[in-house]
Amino acid sequence: GGDGGDGGDGQGSAIYVVSGSVSIVNSTLSGNGASGGTGGAGGTGGTGYSFVSTSFSSFGNAGNGGNGGNGGNGQGGGISTVAGTLDISNSTIAFNSTSAGSAAAGGAPGSIGVGGASGSAGSVGTTAGGGVHENGGTVAINSSILSNNSAATGTEDFDGDVTAGATLFFVAPSGTLTPGTGTNITGTDPVLSALANNGGPTQTHAIDTASAARDAGSNPLTLATDQRGLNRDDGGGVDMGAYEFGAGGAATTPPSVSDPASVTVVNATSYNIMGTAPADSLVRIYSDANNNGVVDGADAVVGSQQLTGGATAFSISVSLTQDVDNNFTATSDDGTSGESNPVNVPTITEDSTAPIGTTVTDPATALNTTGATYTIVGTAEADSTVQIYSDFNNNGVIDGADAVVASGTATGGNFSISTPITQSTTNNFTATASDAASNESNPVDVPTITETTAPAISPPIVSTPATTVTVDAAAFDIMGTAQADSLVRIYSDLNNDGFINGADAVVGSLQLTGGATDWTINVPLTQSATNSFLATAEDGSSNESLPTDVPDITESSGGTSGGGGGGGGGGCAVNDSGTSSWLLLGGLIAAMFGLMRSVFRRQEG
């Protein structure tokens, strides 16, 4: 069988120099790849002849399989030269690659006959010069960066001979390095950022303030700007490569983000990112999918604001992806100096999911105790805030005057919260858990805690009203008995829950003296409404009793109408002013009697 053909060489994916002169200035070559071709498979050997008769048989030799072709070589992922002259100045050649072609298998021997053999497999190709491959011609490099290129075999950044000055090679060239003007740097990482929009019409690899390439370059062509069109010299010297750090102060100053000031957690569909930027600049907010602080890959503008009228403050609303970390960067562009370097916006974590509800383990069931506090113990979502609410009507939900009475953190998922309890009565609570985004779980009932200490002073006894009553009056006398010489108070009970809470307030009081125990307190009534009250007694040591419920007092709407006025006197034909005055006085007296009758009827009611 015939031999397979060799794979072709891949050379100079971006630039292939075969003659003449080529100059590369203020340019970035990135992400290119040169790959060798795959070798061809060897052919199958020929079939041997055969002869068979009744007296004998004969077979010829089978053909050998052809040899497999070799894989092609990958040379010069960015640039390859075979002749001519190549000059590179103030450029960055990075993240290019070469790969070898695959070898092919040998062919199989012929299928009939004897003596045939399989062909040999080809060889895998080689690689050289992930960045630049010099295979002839002359190459000169000045004030440039060759870094982060790759080759499976051979030199990664530059393969061959080169004359270089003020240039950084992350991996030293494989051939002769003839020094040019300026000091070369070899074996040092220039710390390149990913290819991104760093201002100007094309993308670049930025360096930072700590890069060895900063202020270490030269400017043999006296360039005024870098690849982006920004000033070449920042005052400390020219940088190696296509990107000038700081761009001589001409680049737009990056914005300053004030909100969020640090990593934050919210429960929201959007967030207003705020800060300041150069006056009248265009501020852009970019997504930062890989959270690397640069604009690259699928990162895109998600919000922007054009500042005008000398304004420097910006506030840009961005949409948030629910229940994940949201990462952004911000840039500013004054319209003349190009877009600034991106600045990181602290991560905004969106959390719309409420924590799992608490589990109360102590008290496990209703119990009796004494003391001013009780420690409620249980579990909840790790590091959530557990809140203990009063539950005045003991219905297991948060309503009415229910309020937070104690709180704590579920450190590692466990909480233990000292909770104040009211003495000499039952205490009912619920517990919830809240996360950093203020999502709160449903309340969980805490078994009733009864404080059994004998009260310092007994609650007063209410005798009037004995049951709910309906009256037509502006006020009502509540009566009863209490401990001798105590201070009796009447409180409003606006939510009629039997507890003094919320906006409940004292509406009447009486200090008993001289050993007196009976009390009568007049309280105002809200008209056309049901009035609910509570009564307490306080001893001389300021111990106030538990409240006693006063039966509801309903004030009916309106009072009894007054009687009609007396009929007017008949007309008088005599022109007598004195008589007219007496008639007027009589009408006034009749009206007064009607009014007095109405008042007396109201008091009787």
Q: Give domain 359-451's CATH superfamily.
A: Immunoglobulins (2.60.40.10)
Contact between residue 242 and residue 227 where contact means Cβ atoms under 8 Å apart: yes
Query: Do 154 and 100 form a contact (C-beta atoms < 8 A)?
Result: no
Does the domain made of 256-350 have the CATH classification 2.60.40.10?
Answer: yes
In three-state secondary structure terms, 247 is helix
Contacts (Cβ under 8 Å, ≥6 apart) of 55: none
Say how far apart CA 382 and CA 310 lie, in whole Å.
Answer: 48
pTM score: 0.45
Ramachandran bin of 215, using left for φ above 0, alpha for ψ from -120 to 50, beta for the remaining angles: left
Q: Report pLDDT for 131.
A: 83
Tell me which of 2.60.40.10, 3.30.70.260, 1.20.1050.10, 3.40.50.700 is the CATH number of domain 461-555.
2.60.40.10
| Phi, psi (degrees; rounded to nearest 5) at 601 | -65, -40
Report the chain (605 residues): mean pLDDT per 10 consecutive residues: 54 77 94 68 50 50 55 73 92 90 57 58 64 90 93 83 95 92 94 85 85 90 87 78 72 89 94 96 94 84 96 97 95 79 94 91 96 97 96 91 94 97 92 93 96 90 98 97 97 91 93 96 97 96 93 80 39 36 38 40 37
- Asked if domains 256-350 and 359-451 share a fold, the reply is yes
The answer to whether 443 touches 430, Cβ cutoff 8 Å, is yes
What residue segments make up the domains of the chain, in order of their start? 1-251, 256-350, 359-451, 461-555, 564-605
